[in-house]
């Protein structure tokens, strides 16, 4: 189709140039600058200036001092991604297969809540999970929580907030790949005496894998980097790597340490993404 009308020549470069230049200048070069800053002598300051001395020791220091926040970021991000996958799959499946002519309306409703400010939404979770709120009182009445048990300022609240905030990033790719599935394949599995569960795990689930892979990536990456949920819904015990990076930059003004943390986070995420995509066998997605 569009392969046929692809034109050669200089116009392609001209059209691409402004966007590519912007990304080179303000994405690629900055990342280089971040890596360089992470190797500066940490005893400098942004007033006196830093000296480049290839201080790879910064990375050792950072791993030693901030393993906790790193671990929490990855753990909270992974849990939130898992919950998003369960909730998102149910919702995407219902829209793709069960919604009939309400499909488009439901898709609009999926993204609608997320047009309200991210911070305002997260703050309203603070209210929903508050100590004498409905949720906590109900859970106390059901003896799920102790009488002085709470949700706010616990890891539960942070994971709940992350799950909520990144759900659409899961639902939309899942929907896109479920919607493409040929219904006749699922019917065929029924005709061949597969019960609905077997049919789901042998037909629907494998065919939806591209959506599962891109949905989990789109959820996991921002969830690991986020610190608003930890800041608003957690206590100081739930501080994640984002909190540390931002305070090292803006409060402590320790640029080399903050940069090393940032580079390490990026490398960790890229490594995990590559391993994950390899194992899922869907490299063509990238």
Is 24 near other proteins (CB under 8 A)? yes
Q: Which of 109, 185, 188, 192 binds other proteins (CB under 8 A)?
A: 109
CB of 192 to other proteins, least distance (A): 22
Q: Provide, rounded to whole angstroms, the least separation between the CB of residue 203 and other proteins.
A: 16
Q: Under rule CB under 8 A, which residues in 66-95 are in contact with other proteins?
A: 87-88, 90-91, 93-95
**How remote is the C-alpha of 147 from its chain's centroid?**
34
Q: How far is CA 113 from CA 72, 105, 164, in A?
A: 27, 13, 10
Burial of 194 by CB count in 10 Å (0-12 exposed, 13-18 middle, 19+ buried)? middle
Query: Which of 81, 40, 26, 18 is closest to 218 using CA atoms?
Result: 81
**Residues contacting other proteins: total by CB under 8 A:** 94
Distance CA 268, CA 270 (A): 6
Rg (C-alpha) for the chain, rounded Å, is: 23
Instruction: Choose the binding region for other proteins from 26-34, 57-65, 186-194, 202-210 (rule: CB under 8 A).
Output: 26-34
Q: Which stretch binds other proteins (CB under 8 A): 10-18, 54-62, 140-148, 184-192?
A: 10-18
- Least CB distance to other proteins at residue 133 (A): 9
Name which of 70, 246, 77, 274 is nearest 162 in CA terms. Answer: 77
Pattern of binders to other proteins over 149-188, x per CB under 8 A? Answer: ---------------x--x---------------------
Q: Which of residues 219-258 bind other proteins (CB under 8 A)?
A: 221-222, 224-228, 231-232, 241-242, 245-246, 249-250, 255, 258
Range in contact with other proteins (rule: CB under 8 A) among 63-71, 125-133, 181-189, 204-212: 125-133
Q: Show contacts with other proteins in window 31-50 (CB under 8 A).
A: 31, 33-34, 36-37, 46
Query: Are the beta carbons of 278 and 63 closer than 8 angstroms?
Result: no
Q: Say whether residue 106 binds other proteins (CB under 8 A).
A: yes
The nearer residue to other proteins, 208 or 262, going by C-beta atoms, is: 262
DSSP string, 247-275: HHHHTS--HHHHHHHHHHHHHHHHHHHHH
Shortest separation between residue 42's beta carbon and other proteins, angstroms: 14
CA-based torsion, 94, 95, 96, 99: positive or negative: positive
* Interface with other proteins in residues 182-201 (CB under 8 A): none
CB 257 within 8 A of CB 248: yes
Per the CB < 8 A criterion, the answer to whether 235 and 153 are in contact is yes
């Amino acid at each position: 189709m569009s392969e046929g009308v692809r034109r050669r020549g200089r116009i392609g470069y001209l059209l691409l140039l402004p966007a590519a230049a912007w990304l080179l200048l303000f994405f690629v070069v900055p990342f280089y600058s971040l890596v360089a800053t992470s190797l500066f002598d940490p005893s400098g300051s942004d007033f006196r200036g830093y000296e480049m001395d290839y201080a790879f020791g910064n990375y050792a220091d950072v791993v030693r001092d901030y393993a906790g926040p790193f671990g929490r970021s990855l753990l909270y991000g992974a849990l939130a991604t898992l919950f998003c996958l369960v909730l998102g799959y149910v919702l995407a499946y219902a829209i793709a297969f069960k919604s009939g002519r309400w499909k488009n309306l439901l898709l609009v409703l999926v993204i609608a809540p997320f047009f309200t400010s991210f911070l305002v939404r997260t703050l309203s979770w603070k209210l929903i999970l508050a100590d004498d709120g409905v949720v906590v009182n109900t859970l106390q009445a059901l003896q799920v929580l102790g009488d002085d048990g709470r949700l706010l300022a616990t890891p539960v609240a942070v994971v709940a907030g992350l799950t909520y905030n990144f759900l659409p990033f899961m639902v939309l790719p899942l929907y896109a790949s479920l919607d493409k599935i040929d219904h006749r394949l699922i019917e065929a599995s029924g005709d061949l005496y597969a019960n609905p569960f077997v049919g789901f795990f042998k037909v629907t689930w494998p065919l939806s894998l591209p959506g599962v892979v891109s949905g989990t990536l789109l959820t996991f990456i921002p969830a690991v980097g986020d610190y608003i949920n930890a800041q608003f819904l957690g206590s100081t015990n739930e501080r994640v790597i984002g909190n540390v990076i931002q305070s090292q930059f803006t409060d402590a003004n320790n640029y080399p340490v903050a940069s090393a943390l940032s580079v390490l986070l990026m490398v960790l995420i890229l490594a995990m993404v590559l391993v994950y995509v390899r194992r899922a066998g869907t490299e063509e997605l990238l």
